[in-house]
Homo-oligomer: A and B are copies of this chain.
Amino acid sequence: MQEHLDESLAELSRYAAQPSVAAQNLGMEACADLVAGMLRARGFSVETVPTAGFPVVLAERAGRSDRTLLIYNHYDVQPPEPLELWTDPPFTPTLRDGRLYGRGVSDDKGHLTARLLAIDALLSRADLPCRIKFVIEGEEEIGSVHLPEFVRQNRERLAGDACLWEFGYVDHREVPLQYAGLRGICYVELSVETATRDVHSGIGGSIFPNAAWRLTWALGTLKGTDERVRIPGFYDPVRPPTARDRELMAQAPDTADDYRARYGVKEFLRGMIGGVELRIAEVFEPTCTLCGLTAGYQGPGSKTVLPARASAKVDFRLVPDMTPDLVLKQLRAHLDAEGFSDVRVQFLGGNPAGRTDPDDPFIRLVSKTAEPVYGVPMQVVPMVGGSGPNHAFIHDLGVAVATAGFGNPDTRAHAPDENLRVDLYLKHAKHVARLIQAFAEETAPGPSIQPRSKRAKA
Contact = CB atoms under 8 A, between A and B. Distances in A.
A201 B308 contact: no
Given A205-B385, A269-B206, A294-B294, A195 B302 contact: no
A24 interface: yes
Interface stretch (A36-44, A216-224, A246-254): A216-224
Contact of A23 (B207, B299, B413): B299
A296 interface: yes
A386 B210 CA distance: 17
Minimum-distance CB pairs A-B, first 3: A23-B301, A196-B264, A205-B287
A120 interface: no
Nearest to A387: B202
A303 B285 contact: no
A183 to B, nearest CB: 7
A295 B290 contact: yes
B299 A81 contact: yes
Contact of A287 (B201, B286, B384): B201
A303 B307 contact: no
Contacts of A143: 302
- The majority secondary structure among interface residues of chain A is mixed
Interface of A: 22-25, 78-79, 81, 85, 141-143, 183, 185, 187, 189, 194-210, 212-213, 215-217, 219-220, 223-225, 227, 259, 263-265, 267-269, 272, 278, 281-282, 285-308, 310, 312-313, 315, 317, 339, 348-349, 384-387, 413-416
Contacts of A212: 290-293, 312
A416 to B, nearest CB: 8
Nearest to A385: B202
24 contacts: A24-B300, A78-B303, A78-B304, A79-B297, A79-B301, A141-B303, A142-B301, A194-B265, A195-B263, A197-B263, A200-B386, A202-B384, A202-B385, A204-B385, A205-B287, A207-B278, A208-B259, A208-B268, A209-B268, A212-B312, A290-B307, A291-B306, A293-B295, A305-B414
B213 A216 contact: no
B289 A204 contact: yes
A227 B242 CA distance: 47
B200 A415 contact: yes
